[in-house]
């Protein structure tokens, strides 16, 4: 009998930005205008569609464990665990750490009711931009108003960075998560790395 060889497919995975792994720490900027960029690959992501006020919406909100946000910019949950970002009145993106078992519970909760639950884990990657200069870097190419008076920790929006559409989620006073589609991840990362170079030099007043 031929010996069966089992392959651990997880060892074959490559994140959209694995080729830039060395470039990220090499581009760190220290000091008062410091900023750094890292990738958080392989997060669990699930697209959820359900009309508010319906049994499907209530069932899915309960199944997420954190509820569903009710308006633009809102996030249910926390960046360290399961979180759900508002995309539209009946559309949401669940983001959770790699390996989180959430898809099947959501599918079971929806059952035959109108709505949808779709695994989108391979659709996007996550870039973490942090440091005192993080907001200033983003403001070089993001049209959204990121001033603290209107954009605060816990806010997530659909916007653009340069020409790239993405989710921008502020998770701390000096920390942002960017969620571009995998096909745009390389452009987004290189744009950010280039924008960060200015902050390694003293500020010109």
pTM of the entire structure? 0.91
* Whether residue 143 is found in the same domain as residue 94: no
State the average pLDDT for the chain.
94
Structure confidence at residue 187 (pLDDT): 98
* Whether residue 129 is found in the same domain as residue 204: yes
* Whether residue 89 is found in the same domain as residue 33: no
* Whether residue 33 is found in the same domain as residue 51: no
Confidence check: pLDDT of 9 > 70? no
Domain termination site, one of 62, 92, 122: 122
* Whether residue 31 is found in the same domain as residue 48: no
Whether 13 maps to a domain, the answer reads no
For the domain that residue 177 is a member of, what is the CATH number? 3.30.1360.120
pLDDT tier at 200, thresholds 50, 70, 90 = confident
Query: How is residue 188 written in tokens?
Result: 């987004």
Tell me if 63 sits within 8 A of 105, measured CB to CB: yes
Task: State the alpha helices, DSSP H only, in the chain.
Answer: 23-26, 55-64, 103-110, 134-139, 185-196
pLDDT tier at 202, thresholds 50, 70, 90 = confident
Domain termination site, one of 103, 122, 141: 122
Angle at 194 between CA 192 and CA 200, to 5 degrees: 105
Structure confidence at residue 121 (pLDDT): 95
Read off the pLDDT of residues 111-161 as tens digits, 9 standing for 90 and up.
999 999 999 999 999 999 999 999 999 999 999 999 999 999 999 999 999
* Whether residue 172 is found in the same domain as residue 80: no
* Whether residue 79 is found in the same domain as residue 130: no
Whether 76 maps to a domain, the answer reads yes
Structure confidence at residue 201 (pLDDT): 81
User: Mean pLDDT throughout 102-119?
Assistant: 97
User: Mean pLDDT throughout 61-67?
Assistant: 98
For the domain that residue 88 is a member of, what is the CATH number? 3.30.70.1520
HEC string of 34-84? CEEEEEECCCEEEEEECCCCCHHHHHHHHHHCCCCCCCCCCEEECCCCCEE
Confidence check: pLDDT of 179 > 80? yes
Structure confidence at residue 8 (pLDDT): 66
Structure confidence at residue 161 (pLDDT): 97
Structural domain boundaries enclosing 168: 19-41+125-205
Structure confidence at residue 192 (pLDDT): 98
Whether 10 maps to a domain, the answer reads no
């Amino acid at each position: 009998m031929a010996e069966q060889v089992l392959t651990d497919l997880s060892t074959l995975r490559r994140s959209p930005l694995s080729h830039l792994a060395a470039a990220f720490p090499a581009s760190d900027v220290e000091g008062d205008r410091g900023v750094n960029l890292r990738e958080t690959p392989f997060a669990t992501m699930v697209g959820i569609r359900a009309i508010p006020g319906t049994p499907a919406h209530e069932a899915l909100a309960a199944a997420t464990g954190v509820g569903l946000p009710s308006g633009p910019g809102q996030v249910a949950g926390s960046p360290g665990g399961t979180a759900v970002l508002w995309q539209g009145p009946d559309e949401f993106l669940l983001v959770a750490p790699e390996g989180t078992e959430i898809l099947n519970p959501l599918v079971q909760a929806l059952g035959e009711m109108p709505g949808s639950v779709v695994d989108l884990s391979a659709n996007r990657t996550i870039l973490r931009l942090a440091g005192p200069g993080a907001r200033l870097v983003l403001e070089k190419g993001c049209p959204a108003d990121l001033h603290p008076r209107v954009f605060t920790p816990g806010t997530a929006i659909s916007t653009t960075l340069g020409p790239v559409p993405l989710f921008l989620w502020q998770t701390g006073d000096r920390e942002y998560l960017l969620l571009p589609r995998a096909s745009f991840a390389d452009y987004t990362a290189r744009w950010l790395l280039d924008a960060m170079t200015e902050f390694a030099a003293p500020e010109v007043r």
